Amino acid sequence: MMSIQTLEQFIIEQQAQFPTAKGEFTRLLQAISLAAKIVHREVNKAGLADILGKQGNCNVQGEEQQKLDVFADNHFMDALKRGGECCYLASEEHEDGIDLTQTKRYRVGKYMVYFDPLDGSSNIDSNVSVGTIFSIYKRKSAEGEVQAIDFAQTGREQVAAGYVIYGSSTVLVYTTGKGVDGFTLDPSIGEFCLSHPGLTIPKDGRVYSVNESNYNQFSSAIKHYLQFCKEIDPKTSRPYSSRYIGSLVADFHRNMIQGGIFLYPSTVQYPNGKLRLMYECNPLAFIAEQAGGKASTGVAPIMDIEPKELHQRTPLIIGSEKMVEMVEKYIHEY
Ligand code: AHM
Ligand code: MG
């Protein structure tokens, strides 16, 4: 008999090593996994249901259609609020975070969760993989309203982070700082099952992933690095292959499995980079480092950035360690 280990069983076993653990983290991840299953279901029937289309449209029943990212946001918010383990929730879809200590409706816990409910959602209409990204902190202040010291935590202080890719299969990958594990959803039993224990990213790779239409907007260091990727040198397996889905989770996940680098550097249009620190870059940086890779702004580790605002952006260079270090070298030299 092939033994299956579900995400829940896996977390319970992990938590058993901490006899004082009260099951709060287990319940928090259960809430995330529940929302991910609901989003998986909708993403899979996106072409069939009325769910496609811009919000504001009406479907045949006269109900307002929801864009899938709003749908995903609603379900993650709902699951996390009802899970009763959070004090603060922030999402790409809301200008301000929600301090749950100020509402009487839900039980309040110690966890703060930042998430991007459906990253890459502009790809949905063409059936390209999309993903959810989440980042988890513990509040530092003891009780009452969530305070400035809670919001000031850097990516280094994340207690867990992960992503879900809704691809040819739906895979949930997460870390609590003790390596990275991946779970594939078996839709027939409705459970995430351990499929990628101890996931590591190859130290080096030969895939680079960047929106090259921005080439003329890149710094000279990035332009020189991209030239390097294209040079012919069989000894170093160049030219590298270029792969860009335009869906961060999908590009990142491919690089995790195959080795490679993803870059979203500063451009004229986005002088601080396009991607958001709190719910895109920090969580993937935590996973990359835990998997043996690296995540950098080009001059400093992503997770050392001091957060100033919820939706702040940063340049992101992430993936196989040697490749990220090479870009840092170019940035240092040019
Ligand atoms: P989103 O959060 O609005 O979906 O935008 C983030 C997405 C990432 O998934 C992807 O890496 C990037 O934007 C692609 O941007 P571009 O179209 O500029 O290449
Ligand atoms: Mg996003």
* From 94, 215, 274, mutation site for ligand 1 pocket: most ligand atoms within 8 A of C-beta: 274
Q: What average pLDDT does this structure show over 186-199?
A: 97
69 is in an annotated binding site: no
pLDDT at residue 33 greater than cutoff 70 = yes
pLDDT for 168: 92
pLDDT for 117: 97
pLDDT for 64: 47
Atom of ligand 1 nearest to the CA of 249: 9
Atom of ligand 1 nearest to the CA of 275: 6
pLDDT at residue 264 greater than cutoff 90 = yes
| Interface predicted TM-score of the whole assembly (ipTM), two decimals | 0.95
118 is in an annotated binding site: yes
> In this predicted structure, which of 47-51, 137-141, 222-226 has the lowest mean pLDDT?
47-51
- Compute the distance from residue 247 Cα to the ligand 1 centre, in Å: 6
204 is in an annotated binding site: no
pLDDT at residue 59 greater than cutoff 80 = no
Q: What average pLDDT does this structure show over 18-22?
A: 78
- Does 246 sit in the ligand 1 pocket, CB within 6 Å? yes
Is the separation of the CB atoms in 236 and 271 below 8 Å? no
Name the residue with the closest Cα to ligand 1, atom 6.
120
User: pTM, whole model, 2 decimals?
Assistant: 0.94
pLDDT at residue 220 greater than cutoff 50 = yes
Name the residue with the closest Cα to ligand 1, atom 12.
246
pLDDT at residue 63 greater than cutoff 50 = no
Q: What average pLDDT does this structure show over 102-124?
A: 92
SS3 string of the chain? Answer: CCCCCEHHHHHHHHHCCCCCCCCHHHHHHHHHHHHHHHHHHHHHCCCCCCCCCCECEECCCCCECCCHHHHHHHHHHHHHHHHCCEEEEEECCCCCCEEHHHCCCCCCCCEEEEEEEEECHHHHHHCCCEEEEEEEEECCCCCCCCCHHHHCCCHHHCCEEEEEEECCCEEEEEECCCCEEEEEEECCCCEEEEEECCCCCCCCCCEEECCHHHHHHCCHHHHHHHHHHHCCEHHHCECCEECCCCCHHHHHHHHHHHCCEEEECCCCCCCCCCCEHHHHHHHHHHHHHHCCCEEECCCCEHHHCCCCCCCCECCEEEECHHHHHHHHHHHHHC
- Does 121 sit in the ligand 1 pocket, CB within 6 Å? yes
User: pLDDT tens digit string along 298-314?
Assistant: 999 999 999 999 999 99
Q: What average pLDDT does this structure show over 312-318?
A: 98
- Does 245 sit in the ligand 1 pocket, CB within 6 Å? no
- Does 120 sit in the ligand 1 pocket, CB within 6 Å? yes
pLDDT at residue 55 greater than cutoff 90 = no
